[in-house]
Structure 1
Amino acid sequence: MNQVPELAVFDWDGTLVDSVGKIVESVRDAARQLGMPAPDEAEIRQVIGLSLGPALDRLFPLLKSDKDKKKLAEAYKRAFVERDTAPCPLHTYASEYLWALHRNGVKLAVATGKSRRGLDRALAAYPTLPDFSVTACADEHVGKPNPQMLLYVLRKTGCRPEKSLMIGDTTHDIQMAKAANVGAVAVTHGAHPREQLLSAEPHLLVESFKSLSIWTFKRSLSDIEDQSRLSS
């Protein structure tokens, strides 16, 4: 018996895309531009996945005025876009796993702390990925770990929570999934370390999309790809 869901919802940064390092350096660049001490990497990793405003509030609690907060957010966005115009690489086997789900009739979705503009720009950089049925962004919904954006995805797709998975790399993703009664899958290749992910008690913790594929389909991605080539 396999574990193929009706719906697989993915976080973006750190989960599908290896962008954690770029986010860390962009936050530090933004702080330096405004003459503030730059947070260390561990602090920044903790807020990855949250909406930008709350994330920066946690990192810079002494910044009080809305004007200064806006300047910081704009500096971060500018640093992120200008730091490297090439798209961040997908994590190993991310594309293959998405396509394997798609070929097995699983609906795909994204629930992310990115803005709509940021996600649309990111998606445009990966034209070979399968289509996502629904995408939910933090500037259109209440941010993680609130389950509102995940509940929105469930409503839009008509999928059942107990037949759905939320795959993410932070405790924010795990908490959101559990609050929505969706299966919480944590991947260890992203922002939060393994022990922290385990402390949030995900339903499943995996090291890679290759491992997740074996759990989902009870066979490796190479087996799935071979079968796909034979049937095409």
Structure 2
Amino acid sequence: MLYIFDWDGALIDSADKIVCAMQAAINQLGLPVITDDEIKAIIGLGLPEAIAVLYPAERLEAREELARHYSLECAMIDENGLCDVFPEVREGLGWLLEQGYTLAVATGKTRKGLDRMLRNHNMSHYFSATRCVDETASKPDPKMLLELLEELGVPAVQAVMVGDTEYDLAMAKAAGIKSLGVSYGVHPVKRLLSCSPLAVVDKFSEVVGYEISCDRCCMAE
């Protein structure tokens, strides 16, 4: 069985960092004010796609400038202190490896951003493969998952996607992969359930403890 995890919101408690970095970048550029909840709603998308949702009327150049400022703010925040790993995550990932499962990451972060976080949190050793948004298509396009399946030689029926956003679970559904939602991230349970996951769980130990049958597959409709 292959477990594919989202990074922000499923493994790492980074929502406040993302909101803080985006609000700082918006303020620096003098763009129209948006709420923290509006920013949280687009967590999980690739950065260009997320900014296009937040500022659809802005010129491409302005959106690209916002992306640059946001990335700089994230790097500065990472240098000044780490986001917390969610409770039970390290223990749970270690247990899954001990049982012989393969682990991977599918994230809306850039390669530079994910590698920095993996290094800072000393978590690279858990994962056999990772895929970032600047290497493929943004969620909810299934390309990211299909590439991981091909790289690791795992059929879709033997994989499960674990995420905290509708984008994660919709991506899994489009790829024909089972999914588990986690309620401790950014999207409300109602949004997660709209994508027909196997379940929505409240803590990471319930991800590890959920019995997943390889002969059940959430096929794309």
TM-score, normalised by the number of residues in structure 1: 0.87
> Contact 1:150 / 1:177 at 8 angstroms: preserved in 2?
yes
Counterpart of 2:206 in structure 1 is 211
**Bigger shift: residues 159-168 or 121-130:** 121-130
Identical pairs, percent = 39
Alignment of 1:67-106 (within 5 A): 67-85=61-79, 86-106=81-101
**Aligned residue pairs: how many?**
211
> Contact 1:99 / 1:129 at 8 angstroms: preserved in 2?
no
> Contact 2:55 / 2:63 at 8 angstroms: preserved in 1?
no
Q: CA RMSD in A?
A: 1.4
Pair 1:128–1:178, CA change in 2 (3 A): closer
Distance 1:137 1:10 in 2: 12
**Quick one: which of 31, 37, 42 aligns to 2:37?**
42
> For residue 142 of structure 1, what is the amino acid of its counterpart?
A
Q: Gaps (5+ residues) in structure 1?
A: 1-5, 218-232
**Quick one: which of 164, 175, 180 aligns to 2:175?**
180
> Contact 2:94 / 2:126 at 8 angstroms: preserved in 1?
no
> Contact 1:17 / 1:91 at 8 angstroms: preserved in 2?
yes
TM-score, normalised by the number of residues in structure 2: 0.91
Instruction: Please give the per-residue CA displacement for 1:32-91, whole angstroms capped at 9, x wherever unaligned.
Output: 000112311221111101000010010011211x32222111111111121352221111
Alignment of 1:48-197 (within 5 A): 48-64=43-59, 66-85=60-79, 86-127=81-122, 130-197=125-192
SS at match of 1:77: helix
Counterpart of 2:215 in structure 1 is none
Q: Gaps (5+ residues) in structure 2?
A: 213-221
Instruction: Please give the per-residue CA displacement for 1:110-168, whole angstroms capped at 9, x wherever unaligned.
Output: 00000011111110012256331110000010110000010000001111211111000
- Find runs of 4+ consecutive structure 1 residues off by over 4 angstroms: none
**Bigger shift: residues 41-50 or 145-154:** 41-50
**Bigger shift: residues 6-15 or 38-47:** 38-47
